[in-house]
Structure 1
Amino acid sequence: MLWKALLAALISLLVASATDTYSRDDFPPDFLFGAATSAFQVEGAEDEDGRTPSIFDAFAQTAYGGYGNKSCDQYHKYEEDVSLMAKMGLNAYRFSISWSRLIPNGKGPVNPKGMEYYNNLINELISHDIQPHVTLHHSDLPQALEDEYGGWLSRKVVRDFKTYADVCFREFGDRVKYWTTMNEPNIFVIGGYDDGFLPPQRCSPSPINNCSKGNSSTEPYIAAHNILLSHAAAASLYRKKYQDRQHGIIGINILTFGLLPLTNTTEDVDATERAKDLLMGWILNPIVFGDYPDTMKKNVGSRLPSFTKTESNLVKGSVDFLGINYYYNYYVKNIPQNHQVKGSSTFTDVAVEIVGTMFNATTPGGLLKVVDLLEQSYGNLPLYIHENGQLTPRSSSLDDWARVKYLHGHIKAVLGGLRNGSNVNGYFVWSLLDVYELLGGYEISFGLYYVDLNDQTLRRQPKLSAHWYSNFLHGRTIDPRLIIELKRNASMPSLYNVI
């Protein structure tokens, strides 16, 4: 009878494998696969060669028990990292430029050493046939501008961001064809100006929020408004001055969520729609339709800035593509109007509460639902999944099986979306390396490569997920459930030891 049980198990595995496997060849030839990082989280060298602090530096000095300083030291190890990308099979790398490394005072003279570094990185990528995808702002406004006029709270930042973008387009645009102005402005303003858990850590004083200054009821809306105007100014500049001769595209990025009503009641279903307006429509409605969502205008009232007709026309249609980051699903609960949501003014304003942990209700299908929602609500914009990955505790163990399962399931979901006609053009894993994480420092990990912080050379070691991703990118069809056995038994080392 034992042989029958074994045979049944084998048949079950073969059937599952037949439906659960796919390969790179199932995707369009021009579909991009890459990995992502950001400047402060990966570069290190925070006080070298003319770089000055950003608001991310100030945040990291006190958050999560440590400073980001050396991080992965990509500033000195970029050639090694690009070589790892090439061996893995990436055809794109998403990174950000440190504004305060390129223009140390946020405005004024350009730093030659900063210029040299980004030219070297871009040239190294291109020499390995890896497309550079550049983000201009990833939570790291120069501290000099924060100190001078309050950073994103002042209209002065629009002019300075446009000038910074102009330098980047002029100096790097002959080789960079994919520009993203802002990373996750929707969450940056909630975390930075409402709850205070992100830089620049501003919020109204409360027993929950730990901020020394700020006003949660007004500042998130002001900062978001100035970010949208800055984005639009840079996009307009690019289109008028550079796009025809450089042949690139420009867009913006938001953090997306699978939002599910906690119950099937009308109240929670309606609350979920209001949450979508806040968490995605806050940025996307102005960009697609020229104004904020009606629910926000109604609930926030005069605290929500207004666009002039000229500003509305500038913001509307100001993207060639949309970048989305996706990690988890959340549940949404209705709350009575004016009932305070713990630690949040913006969620209080739209009368919703996000409940459950970030690990709750996470399935690959959530990503596909987000893609469908965006295409139904905001038209057929080309989409790039700029970040997607699995959080784990940082560990020297390289057997990150949970991450393999996560990536396999989510890439499969992207393939399903493409087969159903979605307009997704690329997928980037967050993150290439174990970087300094915004919400956890060095205590958590998303990396395909483990970085040994106790090793003076910051040795990079590929995790199981790096091997799986590399095998996929090299066109091999492998069921992830078999990879651990391949590794443990060394029965098919050619499949495992690609990198």
Structure 2
Amino acid sequence: MSASSAALRFPKDFHWGYATASAQVEGSIDQDGRAPSIWDTFSRLPNKTLDGTDTTVTTDTYVQWRGDIELMKSYGVNSHRLSLSWSRIIPLGGKDDPVNQAGIDWYREYLKALVDAGIVSHLTLFHWDLPQALEDRYKGFLSRDIVADFERYARVCFESFGDLVRDWFTINEPNVFSMMGYLFGSHAPGRTSNREKSAEGDSQREPFLVGHNLLLCHASAVKSYREEFKQKQGGQIGLVVNMLWGEPLDDSAENLTAADEFMAQSSGWFIEPVVFGDYPPSSRKIFEGHLPKFSAEDSALVKGSCDFLGINHYSTFYIKRRTTPAEPGVPWTILHPAVELGIHDKHGNEIGPVGGVNFVRIVPWGFGKLLDWTWKKYQLPIYITENGAVCPNENDIPFPDVLDDHFRIEYLTKYADQVAMAIQRGVPVKSHLMWALTDNFEWQEGHTARFGVTYIDYEDDCKRYPKKSAAVMKEYYRSRIE
């Protein structure tokens, strides 16, 4: 870390720590009344994860959670982002289905222990693990019936945990959930037009319908919170969107416009409705016939439905206007028919060092630009809710050498620097919640992508071993928070 980095400072109320998600860490998928989620079903199908692992055990957090809180205390964090398993709280998911008190009791015990440890909880209602019963009942987020069921689930959570939680996130990355689950078919429920991957699905239509219903779920939950709970509980609520930064390849008009379109399609798809009440104009034009229309009532419900914006950010890419026609039916070009992403500038230089997964590169300047752009455009306080990296070949490095994670240290410290510099420029960034507390079940990558600052030995009862990055980030924030 440079001398200039050491001089950076964060406000005394800044939140920093690590994030997790229920389907990726809890395991114990049939314990204490919990019913299956779509990820339990999907991950057990052949060839859905790179290493054949599923959600049955993951990192065994349902059993080992007390030790994880002790780990967080030793790491010096003041905040932790976690998500709730809908099917652990309402196993069948629906508005008229019974609540599982055992699930509520477990989460309350966990959340109380975080309070006792001096760690602030940032709680996500939905991080992709939809109750399988709702997928079976009406195809989940393809049906508007999901809105009433999600609103009731959210209300149960507000009632059950609102005395322990002030920072609520409704839905994690609706853009990624819609795209990966209904365009590519690589995530649960695995729907796509590619009949080699799925017997059902329409990649041209379903991602946009699912996205629309996700927005209505979010806004309905926010309305309930604001009308029934906010005044009494004193909390705040927002949405979490995955945001890449799209840097124009050059200053040509066509590439500047292409970068604007990329940002609109990739993240404005969900941010603009919750800020302005409708989808981006360029998206309306490009996806005419596929993008649902908001009724006046729905637009009013969605508009202004965020107290803050949660941002998950991993990397930056160069953007240029597509010069050849997009190949019909290719999933990526359905969402981005007129733009191309690249990793080389106009001189052939790579944008930044690549990590152990191809969508993560160290490009801190892109993060800084994203924070400035987001604040200028949307004028919402920003919570960084995920930000992290896998080291090159990390899953193949033997223990204990794997604990010396220099690539992750370089990534996290440089990105934290960008947060501090953005705050100095007047951007209201309130948190840096890094991905992830532990190595975990990384969706289609299974256990092959290790994002954690804590190593998990999957062959030895998921024993935990702190990586060097945990100690470095502890000292980083200890010395910089006022």
TM-score, normalised with respect to structure 1: 0.88
Q: Percent identity?
A: 39
CA distance in 1, matches of 2:340, 2:368: 23
**Aligned residue number for residue 180 of structure 2:** 191
Correspondence for 2:25: 42
- Aligned equivalents of 2:325 and 2:42: distance in 1? 31
AA partner of residue 215 (structure 2) = L
For residue 345 of structure 1, report the CA deviation from its aligned partner: 6.1
Instruction: Report what 1:162 is aligned to.
Output: 151
2: CA distance, partners of 1:450 / 1:93: 18
Offset, 1:344:
1.5
State the one-letter code of the partner of 1:465.
S
Match of 2:362 in 1: 362
SS in 2 for 1:275: helix
CA distance in 1, matches of 2:333, 2:371: 24
CA distance 1:51–1:410, shift in 2 (3 Å)? same
Deviations 1:298-349 (A, max 9, x none): 1211221111111101100001011000111122232269633673266456
Structure 2 counterpart of 1:388 = 387
Structure 1 residues 472 and 339: CA distance shift in structure 2, 3 A: closer
Q: Distance in 2 between matches of 1:322 and 1:337?
A: 36
1:443-462 matches, within 5 Å, as 443-456=448-461, 458-462=462-466
**Superposition deviation, residue 66 in structure 1:** 1.4
Partners of 2:297 and 2:359 lie apart in 1 by 42
Contact residue 50 and residue 113 of structure 1 kept, 8 A = yes
Q: Which amino acid aligns with 2:443?
A: L
Structure 1 residue runs without a partner (length 5+): 1-15, 478-499
Q: Aligned match of 1:425 in 422, 430, 437?
A: 430
Q: For residues 416 and 342 of structure 1, do their structure 2 counterparts lie closer, same or farther at Cα, with a shift above 3 Å needed?
A: farther
Q: Which has the larger radius of gyration?
A: 1
- Secondary structure of residue in 2 paired with 1:252: strand
Q: Does 1:463 align with 2:467?
A: yes
Q: Go from structure 1 to structure 2 and tell me whether the alpha carbon gap of 1:359 and 1:149 turns closer, same or farther (over 3 Å shift).
A: closer
What does 1:133-212 correspond to in 2, within 5 Å? 133-205=122-194, 210-212=197-199
Cα RMSD, aligned residues only: 1.9
**2:245–2:263: 8 Å Cα contact kept in structure 1?**
no
Contact 1:186 1:255 in 2 (8 A): yes
Is residue 339–residue 348 contact of structure 1 (8 Å, CA) maintained in 2? no
2:353 maps to 1:353: no
Asked whether the 8 Å contact 2:181–2:188 carries over to 1, the reply is yes
Counterpart of 2:43 (choices 60, 67, 86) is 60
Question: Displacement, 1:473?
Answer: 3.4
Question: Could you report, residue by residue, the CA deviation over 1:430-479 in whole angstroms, capped at 9, with x for unpaired residues?
Answer: 000011112411111110110111113x21111010111122233389xx
> Does residue 114 of the first structure (1) align with residue 103 of the second (2)?
yes
Contact 2:180–2:186 at 8 Å: present in 1 too? Answer: yes
Amino acid at match of 2:3: A
Task: Report the secondary structure of 1:301's partner residue.
Answer: coil
User: Would the alpha carbon gap of residues 474 and 375 (structure 1) be closer, same or farther in structure 2, given more than 3 Å must change?
Assistant: closer
Q: 1:39, 1:248 → 2: CA distance?
A: 22
Secondary structure of residue in 1 paired with 2:426: coil
Contact kept, 8 Å, 2:314 with 2:361, in 1: the verdict is: no
Q: CA deviation at 1:46?
A: 1.1
Specify whether residues 298 and 359 from structure 1 end up closer, same or farther in structure 2 by C-alpha distance, changes over 3 A only.
Answer: closer
Aligned counterpart in structure 1 of residue 268 of structure 2, from 281, 306, 317: 281
Match of 1:130 in 2: 119
Specify the code of the residue in structure 2 equivalent to 1:75.
Answer: Y
Q: 1:48 to 1:339 in 2, by over 3 A?
A: same
Superposed CA offset, 1:209-231 (max 9, x none): x2221001100110000000000
Aligned length: 456
Which moved further from structure 2: 160-169 or 341-350?
Answer: 341-350
The 5-angstrom pairing of residues 77-116 of structure 1 reads 77-107=64-94, 108-116=97-105
Q: Which runs of 5+ in 2 are unaligned?
A: 344-353
Q: Distance in 1 between matches of 2:34 and 2:87?
A: 6
Q: C-alpha deviations, 1:283-309, integer Å up to 9, x for none?
A: 011111101111111121122111111
Query: Cα deviations across residues 53-103 of structure 1 (Å, max 9, x unaligned)?
Result: 111222322322211211111111111111111121111110000000111
CA shift in 2, pair 1:233/1:17, >3 Å = closer
Q: Distance in 1 between matches of 2:164 and 2:467?
A: 31
Aligned to 1:335: 322
Distance in 2 between residues matched to 1:96 and 1:348, nearest whole Å: 28
Given that residues 243 and 249 in structure 1 are in contact (C-alpha distance below 8 angstroms), is that contact kept between their aligned partners in structure 2? yes
Change over 3 Å in CA distance of 1:276–1:424 after alignment to 2: same
Paired residue type of 2:171: M
Question: Aligned residue for 1:9?
Answer: none
SS at match of 1:215: coil
Structure 1 CA distance for aligned equivalents of residues 301 and 284 of structure 2: 20
Task: Look up the match of 1:236.
Answer: 223
Say whether 1:27 aligns with 2:10. yes
Larger displacement relative to structure 2 (57-66 or 67-76): 57-66
Question: Are residues 373 and 225 of structure 1, via their aligned partners in 2, closer, same or farther at CA, if it must alter by over 3 Å?
Answer: same
Distance 1:410 1:22 in 2: 15
Higher helix share: 1
Report the Cα offset of residue 350 of structure 1. 4.3
Following superposition, the deviation at residue 362 of structure 1 comes to 3.4
